[in-house]
Structure 1
Amino acid sequence: MTALPQNLPISDVERDKAVERLQEAFTEGHLSHEEMDDRLHGVLTAKTRAELEPLLASLPEQDPAAVPTVAAVSGRLVRRGPWKVPRAFRVVSAFGRVRLDLSKAVIEHPVIEIDLGLGTGGARIVVPHDAVVDIEGLQGGWKDVRYAPPRRSRVGGPTIRITGTTGFGRLRIRHARS
């Protein structure tokens, strides 16, 4: 297969794929928020493949079978703001704290699967105000899961299905204010 010339203009499809790849790299923790913003600006203003390639070159190869993982061994890991939420991902915390804020995230799937694996660390998840939270597949550990469903059910939001184990860690789930 012959490589396409670097000086050809990029298509909207190529630009969209590059934006998606940057968002996935950010979700997986390969890019900081500032680095993602800088690279997104570069992708959106790039006119040729030669301008686009350096913005994606340092990213790890994509494995379509891999499930993205948000992990904190120790310390604190935070995902908030307009990040793209994959359909399924794993959250692991040995001793650290994980904070996932889905309230302003880009959610493109009607059901989001979060596989949780807490050791002694903890996790706090903020879901959209109209989300339905399903924790039936979650196995509790030493500490309780803190979640209070909204008094009035809301329609139209995604279903956030949380499975896995909480171990010695604590999980707190709350709905964002509307």
Structure 2
Amino acid sequence: MTDDASPELRASDADRERVAEVLRDAVAEGRLDMEEFEERLEAAYSARTYGELAPLTRDLPAAGAATPPPPVSFTKEPARSGSWAGRIVGGEGSSSGAVAIMSGFQRKGRWTVPKRFNCFAFWGGGEIDLREADFADREVEINCVAVMGGVQVVVPPGVEVVVRGIGIMGGFDHPRDDGPSEPGAPRVIIGGLAFWGGVGVERKVTRAEQKRLKEQRRQERLERRESRHELLRERREQRERRRGY
């Protein structure tokens, strides 16, 4: 972590892995004993912020492994490649609005979000799920009016979210664990009015992505376990060679 990185910034999986790599090099070079290495490695993988990662490599030659993410740009970049390249489809959108009066509505699955989507909930509720949606433009606006009702907006990771709604005896929630947007991802502006009601915004991955991430974490645990075993073998071999001398 660099000295000018804000300690309260959230650390990513890549940041934690870079710190872990520095620790593995340090134990292989004899700078850390096995007990200290395991303590620091466990702390690295459980760290949430740069402030928690920084002390783990501060006294090692390669300290600074955790670097802050690039600043968020307010100018949307065109999609180059990847998952967002085919999801900005243009057109008018497959649904322009929704109404729930003492009832409910849902917009989820594969649908196209228009440039402006208007919804109204009175004594009712609605769900707007953007995880599998396409987008008519790189910037879309969702206008929510909730009167003694509620609307829940679900966005996938990587999408930039701007919340501009007004709450009167109600409120607009911002997504938790918000991070920088991905290149080419759309910007979603959520505005409107909540009167004795609420509009919530949360980030979730799809079930398929959850399954993929679970399998990825399992593989990473196996690799870390194998790496620890390999380090232990190397240390034993080093001790045996010293005894032989």
For residue 145 of structure 2, the aligned residue among 117, 120, 124 is: 117
1:116 shift after superposition:
1.3
Q: Number of residue pairs matched?
A: 115
- CA–CA distance in 2 between the matches of 1:118 and 1:70? 12
**1:153 and 2:188 are equivalent in the alignment:** no
For the Cα contact (< 8 Å) 2:141–2:188, is it kept in 1?
yes
Structure number with higher helix proportion = 2
**SS of corresponding position for 2:132:** coil
1:140 partner SS? strand
Who wins on radius of gyration, i.e. which is larger?
2
Residue in 2 that maps onto 1:50 = none
| Distance in 1 separating the partners of 2:179 and 2:108 | 25
Distance 2:117 2:179 in 1: 28
Cross-structure match for 1:54: none
Identity %: 21
1:73 alignment partner, one of 74, 94, 101: 101
Choose which of 157, 172, 176 in structure 1 pairs with 2:200. Answer: 172
Which structure has the highest strand share of the two? 1
TM-score (norm 1): 0.59
Note the alpha carbon deviations across 1:38-86, whole angstroms, 9 max, x for none: xxxxxxxxxxxxxxxxxxxxxxxxxxxxxx3211111221111001111
Structure 1's unaligned 5+ residue stretches are: 1-19, 28-67
1:132-161 Cα offsets, whole Å, 9 max, x none, are: 1111x3111212322234353232221111
Q: Report what 2:111 is aligned to.
A: 83
TM-score normalised per structure 2: 0.43
Where does the alignment leave 5 or more consecutive residues of structure 2 unmatched?
1-90, 210-245
- 2:162 is aligned to 134
Higher RCO (C-alpha 8 Å, min separation 6): 1
Q: 1:107–1:122: structure 2 CA closer, same or farther, 3 Å change rule? A: same
Judged with a 3 Å threshold, the aligned counterparts in structure 2 of structure 1 residues 128 and 108 are, in CA distance, closer, same or farther, namely farther
* 1:143 equivalenced with 2:170 (yes/no): yes
Describe the shift of the 1:88–1:130 C-alpha distance in structure 2 as closer, same or farther (beyond 3 A): same
**What's the offset of the Cα at 1:119?**
0.5
Distance apart, 1:115 and its partner CA: 1.3
